[in-house]
Structure 1
Amino acid sequence: METRSLFRALFLINFAITLGFGIADAFFSMYVFSLGARGILLVLPLVLYSLSKILFSPFMGACSDKIGPRRIASISLGLYLLVSICYFFTTSLMLITIMRLFQGIGCAMFRPLVASLVGERTTSEKRATVLGTFDISFYGALSVGPVVGGILKDIWGFEGIFAVLTLLCIVALLVALFYIPAQRLSKNHAAERKTENQCKCRTIFTMARQNSLRGLLAFIFGRACGISLLSAFLPILLTTKLGLSGIQTGLVMASGSLVFTLLLRPIGMLSDKTPRKPLIVAGGTIVSLLYFLIPVVSGFSQILFLGLGIGMFSVLSQPACTTLLIEEGVRHGMGLTVGIFNSVLNLGFIAGPLFGAGMQHTFGLSSVFYAAGILGFVAVGLFITTIVSEDTPSSALFLEKGDVTLSYVTSEKL
């Protein structure tokens, strides 16, 4: 019952924070533009936010392994609340830019904590189901955020957006203070705690030599590049090449997120009943193939169907990937592992658009989607190579779901 209450509280907290900043971030560029930001001042807040998440995620994740979860939650959610209040009361571009830095630090603390609390309180038999269900709090909020933000902006302007953001941050902070425990783990997870304590001496460089973690990081980097390329350049293709209306473009962009969110729990259940690594390989491979089809579609119905397919096969790898990440956290320290993972994820989100911009300028818009497909194939190939090279025999890629933790403990002699 205690675990279930904590799960519900974390679900609500994650949904509230993701919804609040999903609403605000969707209109952030428009807001700073309305304040007179041009050139470097327009992009600097966005760059600082991403860089702060990349630089601080491993450090903050490691801190979350040593500091009580309630304290970490209070600090990170307090930073979120401070940012939301400043957004509401100030129009200073300099202060807003600084707040974006603090927002990134808060995210670097908050995401590893939430992922580790959920992951370490689930058994290996149901871990993918639980993680897939919990991810609904993130992707569901992310899907409805821009819509809610648009309604708020039309009715109350930017003040309405920031007022709702502040309210959601207050709710999240109060729930955290009441429901997040002061101690790291419950007594039912003492064995995992012992394993984690034995692994705390590992450094980031030691972790980087682990093939399984490197393979996972390579896969998520390639996936993040693909997602960011799609988000940045697909609207351009939809409007300039296909001539779609704003509503049609919005439907295409939302289609993948919608089917992704709806399938998270069932795919999580599938990941608990079948080998997880093949799901990652299958999902990553098919999505990469679908990227190659984007430049050749010729109408709204085709691109909508393609968007649904990308969402459907993207979710195939999501719960399995998160579960393997949590199992890596048992080896190396949960917060540090998730922090490094988030850094690589955000690095992919930055590298993707930059790489895409160069491809578009040199080879045209269609080349961006071909590049996304190639990056996806390379990421899957690296994942297969590193995983197979660590597992023995070579067929271990297709071992059953419960083999991972056991093979980790025996091979590393923890």
Structure 2
Amino acid sequence: MDKKIFSALFFSIFAAVTGIGIVVPLLPVYAHDLGASGLYIALIFGGFSISRTIFLPMFGRWSDKKGRKPFLTVGLFFYFIISLAFIFARDLNSLVILRIIQGAASAMIMPVAMAYVGDITPKGREGTTMGIFNMSIFLGLSIGPLLGGVISDLFSLQAAFAWMGALAFGAFCLSGVFLPPVHSERIVSAGFHAIPWKQLILDLSILRLFIFRMVYATCIGIIWGFLPVYGAVSFGLSSAAIGTLVMLGVAVNGVIHVPMGVVADHLDKRKLVIGGGVIAAAGISVMGWAQGFWGLFFASAVFGIGGGIAMPSLMALAVVSGNQNTAMGAVMAMITIAHSLGMLLGSLFAGVMMDLVGLQLAFPAGAVIMLAGVAGFIALTYGSEIDGFIKRGSA
């Protein structure tokens, strides 16, 4: 594996995600203070997911054809510009529009970076490599919310947006300077052979990853979009305390990501995904019955443990599928689409729950959704094996 490329991708994504993490726990409370209903808060988070979902197939396929670096650098530069625009946003409509634009830029960053890592991953080390790379995401999402809460408490929300912009610009510089020219990328030098989207969508081994990632992201959408509001309204938690809660689940996930990536290279990845999903369901369920900061603290930690067990194996399986189909960008785009759809559905679902029956019930309902996704993953795993057995028998 090319360590220079890996390091450039790692630190670029770490810087960009840290910037995003700074404002994630602050946006729902800021929108609520501006008079947003639960559904409007959902739109602020959902707008990001909608636009990212629309553009992901296009950018994922184009990166398979044109190379990874152009999309990554352009996307990071747009992150920088949008961060500056957030500083001057003073109404709910502006927040929604900026999140929609930010979602489109995101479609050029995360799936393309993951595809690039998949391109340079040695065979048999998919779990370890993706586990290490995903640390860039989880470290950024751990440090960002805590840093954002502190900056907001000490200075202002606009200062937090400025920090997000500075980190995005740093990531843009890192990727632009240290990633090699496009012509040297493996996907470009090997030539592009488009795999029909229908073939990828109907592949049960990919579909099961899509479903699991979507329901897991649905739970994240519920937590990120409405745990800050739940903590602030129900328990009077400060911005720093809310940032700590959002940080905790991500931090725990990240801490065990690397060792679980190593484990994934030696054990049955499917069983690790299933076990992690069950634990994550338990974590989000407990949030609905928490009695204060420490109850939410425990629940966030349990949810993080579940994700830390499941995600390295899930992403390792995605790398294997990407290599098998010679469509790493397209496969990673599908996985990221699943994440975007889940975030959208989670935020919309919790917003409706908040307005109709109360926010507290959204968290155990999320657990039911998570368990349904685990069941779907199990069914499609067995379906894939049965399909393979039938094909071998008829050969």
**After TM superposition, is the score higher than 0.5?**
yes
- Counterpart of 2:222 (choices 225, 229, 239) is 229
TM superposition shift of 1:125: 1.8
> What's the TM-score, normalizing by structure 1?
0.81
TM superposition shift of 1:211: 0.9
Aligned residues: 390
- Counterpart of 1:211 (choices 197, 204, 208) is 204
TM superposition shift of 1:184: 6.8
**Counterpart of 1:349 in 2: which secondary structure?**
helix
Partner of 2:13: 14
Partner of 1:336: 330
Q: How does 1:245-260 map to 2 (within 5 A)?
A: 245-246=237-238, 251-260=244-253
TM superposition shift of 1:384: 1.1
Matched, 1:265 2:264: no
| One-letter identity of the residue aligned with 1:268 | G
TM superposition shift of 1:149: 2.1
- Distance change (3 Å), C-alpha of 1:262 and 1:235: same
**For the aligned residues, what is the CA RMSD?**
3.6
Contact in 1 for aligned 2:143/2:247 (Cα 8 Å): no
- Distance change (3 Å), C-alpha of 1:385 and 1:32: closer
User: 5+ unaligned residues in a row in structure 2: which ranges?
Assistant: none
Partner of 2:75: 76
| One-letter identity of the residue aligned with 2:340 | N
Q: Provide, for residues 239-284 of structure 1, a one-character-per-residue CA deviation record: whole Å limited to 9, x for no partner.
A: 777x575476655444322221211111111111111011001111
- Distance (Å, rounded) in 1 between the aligned partners of 2:86 and 2:293: 38
TM superposition shift of 1:153: 3.4
- Distance change (3 Å), C-alpha of 1:305 and 1:168: closer
Partner of 1:280: 273
Matched, 1:372 2:371: no
- Distance (Å, rounded) in 2 between the aligned partners of 1:361 and 1:381: 29
Contact in 2 for aligned 1:56/1:105 (Cα 8 Å): yes
Matched, 1:163 2:162: yes
Partner of 2:346: 352
Identity %: 24
Of residues 18-27 and 248-257 in structure 1, the stretch that sits farther from structure 2 once superposed is 248-257
TM superposition shift of 1:15: 0.8
Matched, 1:142 2:141: yes
Matched, 1:386 2:380: yes
- Counterpart of 1:220 (choices 196, 199, 213) is 213
Matched, 1:172 2:171: yes
Partner of 1:102: 101
Partner of 1:308: 301
Partner of 2:121: 122
- Distance change (3 Å), C-alpha of 1:190 and 1:259: same
- Distance (Å, rounded) in 2 between the aligned partners of 1:356 and 1:177: 39
Contact in 2 for aligned 1:58/1:337 (Cα 8 Å): no
Partner of 1:320: 313
TM superposition shift of 1:311: 1.5
Q: Provide, for residues 203-239 of structure 1, a one-character-per-residue CA deviation record: whole Å limited to 9, x for no partner.
A: 2x23221111111111111111122223345456657
Contact in 1 for aligned 2:127/2:316 (Cα 8 Å): yes
TM superposition shift of 1:49: 2.3
| One-letter identity of the residue aligned with 1:285 | V
- Distance change (3 Å), C-alpha of 1:151 and 1:336: same
TM superposition shift of 1:27: 3.4
> What's the TM-score, normalizing by structure 2?
0.84
Contact in 1 for aligned 2:281/2:370 (Cα 8 Å): yes
Contact in 1 for aligned 2:45/2:225 (Cα 8 Å): no
- Distance (Å, rounded) in 2 between the aligned partners of 1:164 and 1:29: 18
Of residues 137-146 and 169-178 in structure 1, the stretch that sits farther from structure 2 once superposed is 169-178
Contact in 2 for aligned 1:69/1:184 (Cα 8 Å): no
- Distance change (3 Å), C-alpha of 1:220 and 1:119: same
Of residues 157-166 and 65-74 in structure 1, the stretch that sits farther from structure 2 once superposed is 157-166
- Distance (Å, rounded) in 2 between the aligned partners of 1:85 and 1:293: 38
Q: Provide, for residues 270-308 of structure 1, a one-character-per-residue CA deviation record: whole Å limited to 9, x for no partner.
A: 111111011001111232244444445556655543432
Contact in 1 for aligned 2:126/2:265 (Cα 8 Å): yes
- Distance change (3 Å), C-alpha of 1:179 and 1:316: same
Of residues 60-69 and 349-358 in structure 1, the stretch that sits farther from structure 2 once superposed is 349-358
User: 5+ unaligned residues in a row in structure 1: which ranges?
Assistant: 396-406
Contact in 2 for aligned 1:16/1:169 (Cα 8 Å): yes
Of residues 140-149 and 39-48 in structure 1, the stretch that sits farther from structure 2 once superposed is 39-48
Q: Provide, for residues 354-401 of structure 1, a one-character-per-residue CA deviation record: whole Å limited to 9, x for no partner.
A: 223444566555542332222112111111111211125999xxxxxx
- Distance (Å, rounded) in 1 between the aligned partners of 2:47 and 2:233: 31
Partner of 1:400: none
Q: How does 1:286-297 map to 2 (within 5 A)?
A: 286-296=279-289
- Distance change (3 Å), C-alpha of 1:386 and 1:184: farther
Of residues 164-173 and 243-252 in structure 1, the stretch that sits farther from structure 2 once superposed is 243-252
| One-letter identity of the residue aligned with 1:10 | L
Contact in 2 for aligned 1:58/1:338 (Cα 8 Å): no
Q: How does 1:34-113 map to 2 (within 5 A)?
A: 46-88=45-87, 98-113=97-112
- Distance (Å, rounded) in 1 between the aligned partners of 2:66 and 2:281: 40
Contact in 2 for aligned 1:244/1:300 (Cα 8 Å): no
- Distance (Å, rounded) in 2 between the aligned partners of 1:82 and 1:258: 28
Contact in 1 for aligned 2:130/2:312 (Cα 8 Å): yes
- Distance (Å, rounded) in 2 between the aligned partners of 1:129 and 1:264: 9
- Distance (Å, rounded) in 2 between the aligned partners of 1:93 and 1:302: 32
TM superposition shift of 1:21: 2.2
